[in-house]
Amino acid sequence: MSALKIGAEVQEALDARRPVVALESTIISHGLPADERITAAREFEQLLRDSGATPATIAVLDGLPHIGIDDADIELLAADGIAKASVRDLPIVAALGRSAATTVAATAHLAAAAGIRVFATGGLGGVHRGANESFDESADLPELGRTPVAVVCAGVKSILDIGATLERLETLSVPLVGLQTDVFPSFWLRESEHRLDWRVEDAGQIADVLRAQDGFGHSAGLVVANPVPVDQQWDRDEHDRVVQEALADAGAKGIVGKAVTPFLLGRIVELSGGRSLAVNLDLVRNNIRVAAAIATAYAG
């Protein structure tokens, strides 16, 4: 990639082969209530530093992709009206000199361009329910098929078609491992109904997988399914009731396409009285700590 601005802290860590973990910026600008965005962004970066890794929050600022941002940039991204950019949007945002938060796909793409191997997020995008008619599938999936970045996530959100998502990951030859679990997680819940082929026990084994990928010359990413801790997961009965009600509301309002996910997530926060958001933040923190451990083991 011809134009990247790598922050001094990130560049120093990369040059010294110290652990670096990429963070997306969409969670700052689009995934949280306005009054929580800045606090959460600062906390996520500090969690990495406390774990011995360097944070590389990724965003596009005035048309230039930034790998690592400062506090003023966080405040800018936390403002209302910031665009959201996936991989296909990056050339347009760059040409127009716009600022934008990066999705999972765009973050992985830019992280790989900067030489960052590990990325922590909340949940992976996937195949939407009813995709056999809408063809609605997240760009996260094909991007992971061609981008050598390990993504630590708590599975995919249960508003998606988890089974179809796992089938697409297999078709795209994206390796998938469960961290201390044989069952694919369901974001707010520790378990879905889908079992995994491969289980690993610790960050060291995941780092070994990354090195094996390097040795084979694999260009795909790696999905690390990391379930939310038992004491932090959402109550299943409440989860099922709220998700079904939100899905029914979306159908009644005729919401389709790109508008579905933000509507559902916002409605679920409302219907749950903020419980879904609290679980969301907890699982992101957990994923960040795991990503730091993986990056440290890989760097070592």
CA–CA separation, 184 and 199 (whole Å): 10
Taking phi over 0 as left and psi of -120 to 50 as alpha, with beta for the rest, 196 belongs to: beta
CA–CA separation, 177 and 47 (whole Å): 24
Q: Does 136 appear as a known binding residue?
A: yes
Q: Does 139 appear as a known binding residue?
A: yes
CA–CA separation, 37 and 300 (whole Å): 33
Report how far apart, in Å, the C-alpha atoms of 170 and of each of 15, 102, 271, 278 are.
34, 25, 34, 31
Torsion sign across C-alpha atoms 46, 288, 66, 18: positive
* Number of other residues whose CB lies within 10 A of the CB of residue 274: 11
Q: Is 102 helix (H, G, I), strand (E, B) or coil?
A: strand
Report how far apart, in Å, the C-alpha atoms of 59 and of each of 154, 245, 272, 280, 283 are.
22, 34, 30, 21, 22
CA–CA separation, 287 and 291 (whole Å): 6
Task: Point out the residues that are catalytic.
Answer: 24, 157
Residues marked as binding for substrate?
A: 84, 104, 138-140
Residues marked as binding?
A: 84, 104, 136, 138-140
